[in-house]
Chains A and B, each alone.
Chain A
Amino acid sequence: MVSTSIDRPDVFHDIAGTEIDVVERPLTAWQKVYDNGAIRKTVLLVVLALIWEVYARALGNPLLFPTFTDTLAALVSAIVSLELPEAAAYTLSLLIKGYLAGLAIAGLLTAFASVSRIGADLLQTLTAMFNPLPSIALLPLALIWFGLGDASVIFVLIHAVLWAVALNTFSGFRALSPTLKMVGRNYGLSSTGYIVRILIPGAFPSILTGLKVGWAFAWRTLIAAELVFGVSSGSGGLGWYVFENKNQLLIPEVFAGLLTVILFGLFVENVVFKTIEAKTVQRWGMAS
């Protein structure tokens, strides 16, 4: 065996009483600001608005592309006249009805799918069939069945929400770690208790994904239904507001209506779902 030729002595360090300048230090204000996702995104939005303004001014054709400030002015006056808030409230109430109905049916389907193999096959087959079908494509049929009104819209909304939520919830149940499932059964819970207190929280990350996707589908479908088919012409939702103003060539109002749609989308994504996420999956360390 080749032994090491250099003879190295043992070394001992005395670290007691060492002065270390920084063990822990609060971040600087700039670092904190940059770490805040909301602030970063707000800055991005401001930059986008600036680009819009500059481009619209350069174009100089308010009938094609009104400036950001004109749009903002139209938005403010529509809000003050309560025209826009009423339209938005109407759209939102429809949306919530359809969304909740979709969630309820998704819950039933998933429950059925998680207790029996036939149920699972049914869910997977139905999802494979209907998920690719755009909800709006069902609207003409719904109009024949339910007539021009809320019922038709709610029908297509359910279709928009149902498959995304059911599929994600079910795959979340499936993906739950077998250890956790065994732990849950070890507790001696009833089967409802097992679903409500183990399966649902355990699958919550993917349930949340389903809720988000379902929300986006529903919102899109609803605006399209109002806009293209004028389904809610009687009462007038957001989509109808855009449609009517386009007919009168009030383009800044059209933009204001679209902006409202966008703002709602941003609000739900960045405030509502973000809050739910922060209070649940992030706090539990389950965020993917």
Chain B
Amino acid sequence: MNATSATEPLLSVRGVTLRYHTKDHLITATYRVSFDVLESDRFVLLGPSGCGKSTILKAVGGYMHPVEGEMLLNGTRIVEPGPDRAFVFQEFDQLLPWKTVRDNICFALTASGKLKRREAEDRAMHYIDKVGLTKFAANYPHTLSGGMKQRVAIARAMASEPDILLMDEPFAALDALTRERMQEELLQLWEETRFTVLFVTHSIPEAIRIGNRVLLLSAHPGQAKAEINCPGIDEVDAEGKPLSDRIQEMLFDRIVQQGEPENG
């Protein structure tokens, strides 16, 4: 990685407003949000439910189009979904039920014509091994637990070696113990391959743990409130306030008392 590629943003979101229709309303999900994701960033979009963070991710994925502003990936406008941005969803049903674990990953590689079957299989096994599911390569998704399914989804996304990984609360549906382990594993995988990830969450501790840069979004409609660096731990600042409390103050505009339990 050279110096210029580190400073040029990989993904650049400029003044993006997103709107969608429900049955009888036009809803503004986000209003003029801007941020830059650099290569090898673990960029977290953090905000309360309804702040449009998932909508932003869907737009980056190419499933929605901004009514205002633009989104550039490597300098090219995003217009439609494509394998250069691999999605990991929150839902457990994101794996194709009619394919085994290995074939799910292979298919992601061969469908776009990127790889031949043989190479795809080798690469699939490599990433299955990385997420520790070698023994389950021939299993169908319905025989796996929720955490294992999410691991497969992550392996699938990583195997296609996209420019950027888009993760939409991938651990939110998991139990607390599994979630912590998955966060740990994700960081470990990042240490090994230094991929770029755009990660959506509503949990402050998860944002602090996963992100190296965190964008805080206000509630409905989502507007960028702050973009901060994150050391990876819940650091206590000079005034004796932990980072999580400061983030909460910024998000909700109120002072958090010491020792107050945090929800999220």
Whether A and B are associated in the same complex: the answer reads yes
A residues apposed to B, CB below 8 Å: 177, 179-180, 182-183, 185-189, 193, 197-198, 201-202, 204, 280, 283-286
How many Å lie between the Cα of A197 and that of B107 in the bound state?
10
Known: A283-B140, A285-B140. A180 touches B83 (CB 8 A): no
Q: CB-CB < 8 A to B86: which residues of A?
A: 186
Interface pair B111/A188, CB less than 8 Å apart? yes
How many Å lie between the Cα of A284 and that of B97 in the bound state?
5
Known: A187-B83, A201-B96. A179 touches B91 (CB 8 A): yes
B residues 59-101 in Cβ contact with A at 8 Å: 61, 63, 80-83, 85-87, 89, 91, 93-94, 96-98
Interface pair A177/B111, CB less than 8 Å apart? no
B112 an interface residue at 8 Å Cβ cutoff? yes
Q: CB-CB < 8 A to A197: which residues of B?
A: 107, 111
Question: Which 7 residue pairs across A and B have the least CB separation, nearest first?
Answer: A285-B142, A188-B112, A187-B111, A284-B97, A188-B83, A185-B81, A284-B98
Name the residue of chain B whose CB is nearest to the CB of A178. B91
Q: CB-CB < 8 A to A183: which residues of B?
A: 87, 89, 94, 96
Name the residue of chain B whose CB is nearest to the CB of A205. B97
Known: A177-B91, A285-B143. A186 touches B83 (CB 8 A): yes
Q: CB-CB < 8 A to A180: which residues of B?
A: 93-94, 96
How many Å lie between the Cα of A198 and that of B81 in the bound state?
15
CB distance from B262 to the nearest CB of A (A): 24
B108 an interface residue at 8 Å Cβ cutoff? yes
Interface pair B97/A185, CB less than 8 Å apart? no
Known: A193-B111, A285-B140, A285-B143. A188 touches B82 (CB 8 A): yes
Q: Could you give 16 example pairs across A and B, Cβ below 8 Å?
A: A179-B89, A179-B93, A182-B61, A182-B63, A182-B81, A182-B87, A186-B61, A186-B85, A186-B87, A187-B108, A189-B111, A198-B96, A202-B96, A204-B98, A285-B140, A286-B97
B residues apposed to A, CB below 8 Å: 61, 63, 80-83, 85-87, 89, 91, 93-94, 96-98, 107-108, 111-112, 140-143
Residue in B81, B82, B87, B108 with the greatest tally of chain A CB atoms within 10 Å: B81
Q: How many A-B residue pairs have CB under 8 A?
A: 64
**Secondary structure class of chain A's binding surface, majority of residues:** helix
Known: A179-B89, A189-B112. 14 other contacts (CB 8 A): A180-B93, A180-B94, A182-B61, A183-B89, A185-B81, A186-B82, A186-B86, A188-B83, A188-B112, A197-B111, A201-B98, A202-B98, A284-B98, A285-B142
Name the residue of chain A whose CB is nearest to the CB of B157. A186
How many Å lie between the Cα of A134 and that of B208 in the bound state?
65
Name the residue of chain A whose CB is nearest to the CB of B83. A188
CB distance from A36 to the nearest CB of B (A): 22
Interface pair B81/A284, CB less than 8 Å apart? no
Interface pair A285/B63, CB less than 8 Å apart? no
How many Å lie between the Cα of A207 and that of B144 in the bound state?
26
Q: CB-CB < 8 A to A280: which residues of B?
A: 98
How many Å lie between the Cα of A204 and that of B99 in the bound state?
13
How many Å lie between the Cα of A201 and that of B96 in the bound state?
9
Kindly identify which residue among A179, A283, A285 contacts B94, using a CB–CB cutoff of 8 Å.
A179
Q: CB-CB < 8 A to B91: which residues of A?
A: 177, 179
Interface pair A286/B98, CB less than 8 Å apart? yes
CB distance from A75 to the nearest CB of B (A): 41
Name the residue of chain B whose CB is nearest to the CB of A188. B112
How many Å lie between the Cα of A187 and that of B83 in the bound state?
5
How many Å lie between the Cα of A188 and that of B80 in the bound state?
9
How many Å lie between the Cα of A187 and that of B81 in the bound state?
8
Q: CB-CB < 8 A to A189: which residues of B?
A: 111-112
Q: CB-CB < 8 A to B82: which residues of A?
A: 186, 188
Q: CB-CB < 8 A to A177: which residues of B?
A: 91, 93
Q: CB-CB < 8 A to B87: which residues of A?
A: 182-183, 186
How many Å lie between the Cα of A189 and that of B107 in the bound state?
10
CB distance from A186 to the nearest CB of B (A): 5
Q: CB-CB < 8 A to A187: which residues of B?
A: 83, 107-108, 111-112
Known: A179-B94, A186-B61. A284 touches B111 (CB 8 A): no
CB distance from A97 to the nearest CB of B (A): 30
